[in-house]
Amino acid sequence: DAKTTQPNSMESNEEEPVHLPCNHSTISGTDYIHWYRQLPSQGPEYVIHGLTSNVNNRMASLAIAEDRKSSTLILHRATLRDAAVYYCILVSNFGNEKLTFGTGTRLTIIP
């Protein structure tokens, strides 16, 4: 599986935008970029995913570089409830349904 690289931790002030980066320089053409997050003592939850174009949903936006070697998860207005570990994961479109979790980015929100 292609690997992803994320910063170990980030901090952001409450009600400000947060940009969480992810590098995936060995991504293949059939890999989707998925983001999950895990709140303390809970199972992960799906945030967003994309292939080539930028994506928006009610939780976040995903900006994908033109060469697809990096992407950025954008939380437009962080709240205290967004404090979590965010995982950037590449998922093959060819039936490989396994999610390989890296270390993720621990996001701390400062009130």
Residues of this chain that bind other proteins (CB under 8 A): 32, 34, 36, 38, 41-46, 49, 87, 91, 93, 96-104
- In the complex with other proteins, the residue whose CB is nearer, 26 or 96, is 96
Could you tell me the smallest distance in angstroms from the CB atom of residue 95 to other proteins?
A: 9
- Distance separating alpha carbons of residues 28 and 26, to the nearest angstrom: 6
Which residue, 43 or 111, has its beta carbon nearer to other proteins?
A: 43
Distances (CA, A) of 9 to 28, 87, 101, 107: 26, 11, 16, 6
The nearer residue to other proteins, 81 or 98, going by C-beta atoms, is: 98
Q: Closest separation between CB of residue 16 and other proteins, Å?
A: 27
Smallest distance, Å, CB 41 to other proteins?
7
Residue whose CB is less far from other proteins, 13 or 56: 56
Q: What is the dihedral of CA 3, 19, 42, 6, to 10 degrees?
A: 20
Let me know: does 81 contact 40? Beta carbons within 8 Å: no
Which residue is listed with tokens 């033109």? 66
Provide the phi-psi class of 65: left if phi over 0, else alpha when psi is between -120 and 50, else beta. Answer: beta
For the bound state, the minimum distance from the C-beta of residue 98 to other proteins, rounded and expressed in Å, comes to 6
